[in-house]
């Protein structure tokens, strides 16, 4: 049976892993390849590497750090941030990424999703959706540029459209919850996962193991992602998986840890 | 065959992540050559064809680089081959994904995963072995491997028993590993499957080195050992 995945996220700024609250107030958390190796050993099922300063600085992803990270972790690596074209995606895959995450560039030019999926297969295309609960009416609005800019897109509608165009997976981040440790937005996750066939990765707001369980049980997520609670060793990946297993969810146990 | 460090040629035809395969093979003691044309792998000890994505563009790229026919001949000659994901699917006759005609060295077709609750099938899943094989030596029977695909090769009914090595269930069950002599293929990604994946690659390299492609129990008694 397919395991529910636990995914540590490496938010990388200028080559270092950082974490802030709501994408601001960044704090240094370490070296990407070192953290990647540590998480692989601790039982991470996959890693997400987001170059959060590539887009604002108008440059490409730091490919050498992607490659050093890919060479240290024998688990899958999704890389995002600043991928704006099929050529960008090819370079990131060549540097060792297994999947590439598209966000702002896909909102600006949805045909990019289609072109990337046609060239590399939909399984390599992750569309990252940053969503914020609307204040005046129901639903969530899509925000871009690291949460700094609102768009007219509604998140659930955009999720369906992205999958039609060729997204093989969705990384759904609640900007309201990101960095707040107040739990995942399970309403947002449930609204999206009910409408798409592809796996949904829950992101934004994890505080404790029970939140991960809720993202899957109530939100319908296939995978759960978090950053600071793992970086700061507030909870271990093993503890999260133990809570998931206790809730009857299938998880991958890592022999090194079980022994 | 090289006496000590087998030389594995990894075919680069622009269909996926070679960094992780290169790193994984090196970490288990193989010598790796990333090759882009048939001359470059003529004297390798084993051929590894990786790849993700759809069959038709992959076959186009293999054809453009003059690789399709040499790979077919390599397998027909019984030389060691490891296909990973698309590198396994391409061995079948054709793919339902886009109607592509593929290499045709294993009878059967690549078909969409049936009854799958989510597609693509992305993540770690169990690989249930159907018979012993040295590829899985030392790997716990309940080990999980990493998958990322929507299609899988389905061996023709007449050959299924002899070629299928393992099954995996996602909705319906599908063939997740095959073996026929020194030809092996896996639908999952050993290079991304942690310690057990590295063990599988180490086992492949050991098979290449020893020339032994059957489980110990299935081997004919060594005449020298029983004889006299």
Tell whether B92 is covered by a domain.
Answer: yes
pLDDT in tens, A84-121: 999 999 999 999 999 999 999 999 999 999 999 998 89
- DSSP code string of A202-232: EES---SHHHHHHHHHTT--SEEEESHHHHT
- How far apart, in Å, are the Cα atoms of B156 and each of B41, B93, B110, B163? 30, 10, 10, 10
pLDDT in tens, A187-214: 999 999 999 999 999 999 999 999 999 9
Overall number of domains in chain A = 1
Residue B131: strand pairing partners: none
Q: E-strand spans in chain A?
A: 5-13, 16-21, 24-30, 47-51, 77-80, 99-102, 125-133, 140-144, 149-154, 169-174, 200-203, 223-226
What is the average pLDDT across A37-58?
Answer: 91
Question: The pTM is what?
Answer: 0.94
CA distance A251 to A64: 32
Tell whether A236 is covered by a domain.
Answer: yes
Tell whether B2 is covered by a domain.
Answer: no
Q: Which domain CATH number covers A100?
A: 3.20.20.70
Tell whether A19 is covered by a domain.
Answer: yes
CA distance B216 to B133: 8
Tell whether B139 is covered by a domain.
Answer: yes
Q: Does B199 lie at the interface with A, CB-CB under 8 angstroms?
A: no
Q: Rounded to 5 degrees, what angle do the CA atoms A214, A220, A225 make? A: 65
Which domain does B38 fall in, by range? 7-226
Nearby residues of B161 by Cβ (< 8 Å), 6 or more positions away: none
Nearby residues of B5 by Cβ (< 8 Å), 6 or more positions away: B29, B30, B31
Interchain contact, A197 vs B24, CB within 8 Å: no
Which domain does A216 fall in, by range? 5-250
Question: CA-CA-CA-CA torsion for B216, B219, B221, B222, nearest 10 degrees?
Answer: -90
Q: Which domain CATH number covers B28?
A: 3.40.50.880
CA distance B208 to B45: 7
Taking a contact as any Cβ pair under 8 Å apart, which residues of chain B between 2 and 61 contact chain A?
Answer: 14, 16-20, 23-24, 27, 52-54, 57
pLDDT < 50 stretches in chain B: 1-2, 226-228
CB distance B54 to B97 below 8 Å:
yes
Pairing outcome for strands A5-13 and A16-21: antiparallel
Q: Is the pLDDT of residue A255 over 70?
A: no
Pairing outcome for strands B172-180 and B183-186: antiparallel
Interchain contact, A124 vs B170, CB within 8 Å: no
Interchain contact, B53 vs A99, CB within 8 Å: no
Q: Supply the pLDDT for residue B220.
A: 62
Tell whether B1 is covered by a domain.
Answer: no
Give me the active site residues of A, please: 11, 130
Verify cis geometry, omega within 30 degrees of 0, for the bond prior to B120: yes
Cα atoms in the Cβ-side hemisphere of radius 13 Å centred on A144? 18
Query: Could you confirm whether B69 is annotated as catalytic?
Result: no
Mean pLDDT of chain A: 92
The CA radius of gyration of chain A, in Å to the nearest whole number, is 17
Tell whether B48 is covered by a domain.
Answer: yes
Q: Is the pLDDT of residue A80 over 70?
A: yes
Overall number of domains in chain B = 1
Tell whether A207 is covered by a domain.
Answer: yes
SS3 B94: strand
SS3 A15: coil
Interchain contact, B123 vs A45, CB within 8 Å: yes
Confidence band of A259 (pLDDT split at 50, 70, 90): very low
Q: Supply the pLDDT for residue A29.
A: 81
Tell whether A90 is covered by a domain.
Answer: yes
This model of the complex carries an ipTM of: 0.93
Among B152, B129, B125, B124, residue whose Cα is nearest residue B139: B129
pLDDT in tens, B140-161: 998 999 999 999 999 999 888 8
Q: Supply the pLDDT for residue A258.
A: 44
- Which of chain B's residues have a Cβ under 8 Å away from the Cβ of A95? 19
Looking at chain A, the whole-number percentage of residues with pLDDT higher than 90 is 79
Tell whether A258 is covered by a domain.
Answer: no
pLDDT in tens, A126-185: 999 999 999 888 999 999 987 889 999 999 999 999 999 999 999 999 999 988 889 999
Between A221 and B51, whose confidence is greater? A221
């Amino acid at each position: 049976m397919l395991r529910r995945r636990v995914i540590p996220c490496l938010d990388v700024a200028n080559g270092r892993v950082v974490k802030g609250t709501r994408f601001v107030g960044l704090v240094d958390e370490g070296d990407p390849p070192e953290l990647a190796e540590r998480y692989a050993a601790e039982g991470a099922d996959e890693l997400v590497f987001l170059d959060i300063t590539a887009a604002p600085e108008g440059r490409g992803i730091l490919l050498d750090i992607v490659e050093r990270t890919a060479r240290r972790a024998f688990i899958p690596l999704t890389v995002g941030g600043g991928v704006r074209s099929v050529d960008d995606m090819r370079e990131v895959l060549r540097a060792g990424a297994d999947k590439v995450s598209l966000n702002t560039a896909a909102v600006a030019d949805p045909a990019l999703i289609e072109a990337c999926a046609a060239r590399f297969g939909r399984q390599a295309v992750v569309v990252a959706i940053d969503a914020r609960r609307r204040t005046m009416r129901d639903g969530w609005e899509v925000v871009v540029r690291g949460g700094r800019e609102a768009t007219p897109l509604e998140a659930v509608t955009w999720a369906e459209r992205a999958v039609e165009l060729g997204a093989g997976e969705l990384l759904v981040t609640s900007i309201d919850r990101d960095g707040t440790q107040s739990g995942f937005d399970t309403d947002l996750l449930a609204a999206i996962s009910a409408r798409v066939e592809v796996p949904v990765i829950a992101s934004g707001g994890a505080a404790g193991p029970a939140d991960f369980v809720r993202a899957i049980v109530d939100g319908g997520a296939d995978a759960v992602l978090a950053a600071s609670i793992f970086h700061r060793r507030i909870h271990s990946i093993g503890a999260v998986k133990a809570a998931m297993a206790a809730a009857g969810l299938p998880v991958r146990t890592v022999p090194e840890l079980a022994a | 065959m090289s006496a000590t460090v087998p030389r594995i040629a990894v075919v680069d035809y622009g269909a996926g992540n070679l960094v992780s395969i290169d790193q994984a093979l090196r970490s288990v003691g193989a010598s790796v050559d990333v090759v882009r044309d048939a001359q470059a792998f003529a004297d390798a000890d084993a051929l590894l064809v990786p790849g993700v994505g759809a069959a038709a563009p992959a076959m186009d790229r293999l054809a453009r680089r003059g690789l399709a026919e040499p790979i077919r001949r390599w397998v027909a000659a019984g030389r060691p081959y490891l296909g990973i994901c698309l590198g396994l699917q391409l061995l079948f006759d054709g793919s339902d994904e886009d109607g592509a005609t593929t290499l045709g060295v294993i009878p059967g077709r690549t078909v969409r995963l049936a009854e799958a609750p989510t597609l693509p099938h992305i993540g770690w899943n169990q690989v249930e072995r159907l018979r012993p094989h040295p590829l899985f030596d030392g790997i716990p029977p309940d080990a999980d491997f990493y998958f990322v695909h929507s299609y899988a090769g389905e061996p023709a009914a007449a050959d299924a028993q002899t070629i299928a090595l393992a099954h995996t269930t996602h909705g319906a069950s599908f063939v997740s590993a095959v073996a026929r002599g020194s030809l092996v293929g896996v639908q999952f990604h050993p290079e991304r499957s942690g310690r057990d994946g590295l063990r599988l690659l180490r086992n492949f390299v050991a098979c290449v080195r020893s020339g032994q492609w059957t489980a110990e129990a299935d081997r004919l008694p060594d005449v020298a050992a029983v004889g006299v």
